[in-house]
Amino acid sequence: MNGIPFDLQILNVLAALFLLLSFSMLAQRRIVTLVNLLAIQGLILFIATVLLAWRTGETHLYLSAALTLGLKVIGLPWLLHQLIRKLDVYWDTEPLINPSATMLIGLLIVIFAFGLAQPISALASTATRNTLGIAIAVILLAFLTMITRRKAMSQVVGFLSMENGLFFGAMSATYGMPMVVELGVALDVLVAMLVLGVFFFQIREQFDSLDLRHFETLKEDE
Amino acid sequence: MPYATLNLCLVLLAAWVVIGFTGLLRPASVGFAGRALFPLGALCGAALAIVAVLGLPIPPERVILPFGLPDLPFHLRRDALSSVFLALLGGASAGISVFSAGYFRQGAGTLPGLLCFQYHVFLASMGVVLLADDAYAFMVAWETMALSSYFLVTTQHRIPDIRRAGFIYLLMAHLGAVAILLSFGVMQGTSWQFTFDAMRATVLDPTWASIAFLLAFFGFGAKAGIVPLHVWLPEAHPAAPSPVSALMSGVMLKTAIYGVLRVTFDLLGEPLWWWGLVALAFGLFTAFYGVIFAAVQTDMKRLLAWSSIENIGLIFTGIGLTIIFHGLSMKSLAALALLATLYHSVNHAFIKSLLFLGTGAVLHATGERNLGRLGGLIRRMPWVAWLTLIGALAIAGLPPLNGFVSEWLLLQAFLFANAVPRPFISMLLPLGAAIVAFCAALSGYVMVKFFGVIFLGQPRESKLAEAHDAGFLERIGLVWLALGCFALGLLPVQVISRLEFVSRYLIGADFGARRTEWWLLAPSVARQASYSPLVFFGVGTAVVMLTVWLVRAFYHRGVRRSAVWDCGFVRLNARMQDTAEGFGQPIRHVFQQFFLMERKLPTPFDKAPQYHLVLADRIWRGCYVPIGKLVRKIADVAALLQQGRISTYLTYSFITLIALLMVVL
């Protein structure tokens, strides 16, 4: 580890925490905690971005760090907490696949992600290229979170976590996306959140519950 | 001045679009759309026809419009072939637009302003189809044409049957469009340039060229109504308002003819002669099938729709002959067949528009499409009756009207077919002439039934007594089209000398220098076959006038009205006249294996006897229903994927993602 400068070591630690948080989100069943974990993930993303911005001197990274802080650490979690209180959903029902099996699948996914990242990292010229595998792993784990959950709320959290992973991946591969794209994505997430918020109320109105199992009745039958 | 004609055409097309949008300003006002906008549209149409005819001798002009996607502008080009069809579009639509001005009125369907918008967009999109010089512009215009006409067909969209007819039309239009798109994809070869210039430059090997031709034939055939792709025609035409039927049958079907000619002779370059056999076989069968079905119809618009199918068959027969002659490098004969094809396209545009508008006037006056409830309308609606009679005579192929000229030219082309240097083909081709003659004769029979049952005899319903004749604007539209029929019939030499610009452009040959006099048309030597409509018309008129005068002068001295001799029956009534079913019965009997018949005959002991007859198309039951079932079966299997569970759907995405990443790995 001697060859790696101190700030990069911190960055690697942050990346590891990032991945760890994904795993805890995969296992977590309390929705309030899930949202908190998302907020912490956002916080790590924020710190990592600031660190990277300081290291590379890219000014637009500061801006995206500010965006991360405002949107992902404060804005969306607050919004989600509001929704949880209003909709009165604190617990997800038991997941579709049991937690230990999910964890094992998650492990396989991480290995797969690192294998996938190998050739890309070799090509990338950024200082942070080693963390690309983690980013991909986070994206896939978030996807897995979405698959295994029953409540619409936890799926949204999974979706936002996936976005975090994407952001992290872009940062580690090319020091962030172009500003326009980043702004666009941020706006998309915000809008998606608002739309989904409206949907939640509609879904509850319709089915008296946020459980997605009720959607199966929507299927068209002969 | 270069590009003048093309630019004028574009200005007129743009004017149509502007008129359409103006209609949206006051969508609910019949007066505004009808009295102001539609006549303006008609003026644009007439101007377009004049510009296009004058532009025929001018060499191709092109222009690139900066529309469309970035790096993909619209290429437009006007040459002799597009000019002929533009003239057809302008000429026929002028009459139809004037008629529409008086026809559309407040009803339950689409608002008049919106209708005006759809109508003019439809016209303009057909114009762009004819001018397009790259696949992109062509497809955009083609689809605009399909969509705008779909909305026009479903004007009365509150009626379920009409929605169904519209759906079938849209489905067939899209099937055709897909085939055309694929054909363009094949024709660009490996250049990946979708301009028509690139396609002209690409030389395909015979297999691929044949695939491109067959795809285009299928695609354009679906639009034109080649059997077995004709099913939408007899459904859509009765559903659409009459001016729309006129426009679709008279003009839109011809854009498909244009497409086939463009692809075969221009884009593919040298057609293979056996393609002609395909087109010929389908054309003859379509003509035959169309005319026997027309003979047994009882709905007047459905009858005309089937008659359109017959005429499209004849046109495709002409195209087939042209390809055969051209492929065997018999240029002069190919030019003759091509001229017959183009001539018949133009003729059919005028005649069929006239007839459809005539049915529209009848429909408005009586509210009845069923032939069994019409009759005797010549007294109530003399204008419509006499003008429709001109159309009926023309489509039956009687001289001196225009239908005769083109059918005669087509037969002449057939009679030279024994010169084809292929055994069997040269022997079998003249048999085609027999089928063409059969169709011409039977279409005369159909028209006797059409005209006789609607306009002659006694009214079959009491409400027909209140029928009123067409309004002023409607009459102008009908007269315009009838004059077109006369002009095209009486001046064939002049028309052909114009059409020859196309044959020179596409085939590199013309009719030859065998034209002797300006009033005498002779495809080979005048001694063998020649036709002089003016003389025929003059002598015919003189003979008729003389006879009438003689009869009046020496025989009755005036018209005497007396009771009909009733063969000893008492109380003859209008129900005892020959009906449409009765008139078509011999044809139904002779060709019964072509019809799917469902008949309920009354027994002699019925108190209230009822006769019920439904004739269906075997092709629908035998071809489309099985395909529909197959599609449904596949859809059911595919529906197994749909579990209604979000987790399942997410898993699909997840697995796909992982699989794709594996590939990258």
B395-403 average pLDDT score: 89
Residues B429 and B455 in one domain: yes
Residues B503 and B385 in one domain: yes
Size of interface A-B (CB pairs under 8 A): 42
B93-118 average pLDDT score: 85
Q: Coil, strand, or helix at residue B62?
A: strand
Burial A69-106 (b: 16+ CB within 10 A, else e): bebbbebbbebbeebbeebebeebeebeeeeeebeebb
B211-237 average pLDDT score: 93
Task: For A217, name the nearest residue in chain B, comparing CA atoms only.
Answer: B644
B595-600 and B612-617: which strand pairing? Answer: antiparallel
- The answer to whether the CB atoms of A212 and B647 lie below 8 A apart is yes
Residues B538 and B655 in one domain: no
Taking contacts as CB-CB distances below 8 angstroms, the residues of chain B near A96 are 647
Query: Can you read off the two tokens belonging to residue B264?
Result: 């075969």
Mutate to test the interface with A, among B632, B637, B646, B649 (most CBs of A within 10 A): B646
Distance CA B154, CA B367 (A): 18
With beta carbons less than 8 A apart as the criterion, state whether B39 and B32 touch. Answer: no
Chain A nearest-CA distance from B652, in A, is 10
Task: For B642, name the nearest residue in chain A, comparing CA atoms only.
Answer: A219
Query: Can you read off the two tokens belonging to residue B575?
Result: 């129900």
Taking contacts as CB-CB distances below 8 angstroms, the residues of chain A near B636 are 222
- pLDDT tens-digit series, residues A42-81: 999 999 888 888 888 878 888 888 888 888 889 888 988 8
Residues B511 and B647 in one domain: no
Lowest mean pLDDT of B22-36, B255-269, B390-404, name the range.
B22-36
Query: Can you read off the two tokens belonging to residue B652?
Result: 């699909």
- pLDDT tens-digit series, residues B550-573: 888 887 666 777 777 777 777 777
Confidence of residue A222 (pLDDT cuts 50, 70, 90): very low
Is the torsion defined by CA of B588, B593, B598, B601 positive or negative? positive
Chain B nearest-CA distance from A2, in A, is 31
Chain B nearest-CA distance from A157, in A, is 14
Residues B540 and B397 in one domain: yes
Confidence of residue B483 (pLDDT cuts 50, 70, 90): very high
Taking contacts as CB-CB distances below 8 angstroms, the residues of chain A near B663 are none
Distance CA B519, CA B517 (A): 5
Residues B545 and B603 in one domain: no
Q: What is the pLDDT of residue B513?
A: 47
The more confidently predicted of residues B634 and A177 is: B634
Distance CA A166, CA A176 (A): 10
B218 Cβ partners below 8 Å, 6+ apart? B176, B179, B229
The pLDDT of residue B583 is above 80: yes
Q: What is the pLDDT of residue B351?
A: 95
Chain B nearest-CA distance from A77, in A, is 23
B647 → closest Cβ in A96, A112, A115: A96
B175 burial via Cβ count (<10 Å: 0-12, 13-18, 19+): middle
Residues B489 and B596 in one domain: no
Number of domains in chain B: 2
C-alpha distances in angstroms, B652 versus A152, A157, B479, B648, B649?
Answer: 18, 20, 65, 6, 5
Interface of A with B (CB under 8 A): 96, 112, 115-116, 140, 143-144, 146-150, 155, 212-213, 215-220, 222
Residues B609 and B584 in one domain: no
Q: What is the pLDDT of residue B382?
A: 92
Lowest mean pLDDT of B161-170, B179-188, B189-198, name the range.
B189-198
The more confidently predicted of residues B487 and B72 is: B487
B645 → closest Cβ in A215, A220, A222: A215
- pLDDT tens-digit series, residues B5-16: 888 999 999 999
Residues B477 and B527 in one domain: yes
- The answer to whether the CB atoms of B646 and A155 lie below 8 A apart is yes
* Domain around B468: 273-558+578-590
Is position B318 within any domain?
yes
- The answer to whether the CB atoms of B647 and A148 lie below 8 A apart is yes
Confidence of residue A1 (pLDDT cuts 50, 70, 90): very low
The pLDDT of residue B525 is above 90: no
Distance CA B299, CA B452 (A): 14
C-alpha angle B80/B86/B87, rounded to 5°?
A: 90
- pLDDT tens-digit series, residues B279-324: 999 999 999 999 999 999 989 999 999 999 999 999 999 999 999 9
Chain B nearest-CA distance from A30, in A, is 19
Is position B386 within any domain?
yes
Q: What is the CA radius of gyration of chain B?
A: 26
Residues B630 and B586 in one domain: no
Kindly state whether B661 is in contact with chain A, defined as any CB-CB distance less than 8 angstroms: yes
Distance CA B408, CA B576 (A): 38
Is position B103 within any domain?
no
Residues B525 and B622 in one domain: no
- The answer to whether the CB atoms of A212 and B650 lie below 8 A apart is no
- The answer to whether the CB atoms of B654 and A144 lie below 8 A apart is yes
DSSP B573: -
Confidence of residue A128 (pLDDT cuts 50, 70, 90): low
Q: What part of B 579-638 touches A (C-beta under 8 Å)?
A: 636
Confidence of residue B1 (pLDDT cuts 50, 70, 90): very low
Lowest mean pLDDT of B245-254, B310-319, B451-460, name the range.
B451-460
The pLDDT of residue B129 is above 90: yes
Residues B583 and B603 in one domain: no
**Extents of the domains making up chain A:** 6-218
Task: For A213, name the nearest residue in chain B, comparing CA atoms only.
Answer: B645
Taking contacts as CB-CB distances below 8 angstroms, the residues of chain A near B639 are 220
Taking contacts as CB-CB distances below 8 angstroms, the residues of chain A near B650 are 143, 146-147
What average pLDDT does the structure give for chain B? 88
Chain A nearest-CA distance from B70, in A, is 21
A115 → closest Cβ in B639, B643, B665: B665
The pLDDT of residue A221 is above 60: no
Q: What is the pLDDT of residue A198?
A: 76
B654 → closest Cβ in A147, A150, A220: A147
Q: What is the pLDDT of residue A93?
A: 65
Chain A nearest-CA distance from B107, in A, is 37
- The answer to whether the CB atoms of B647 and A150 lie below 8 A apart is yes
The pLDDT of residue A90 is above 80: no
pLDDT > 70: percent of chain B:
96
Distance CA A84, CA A200 (A): 10
| Token pair 């007047």: residue | B300
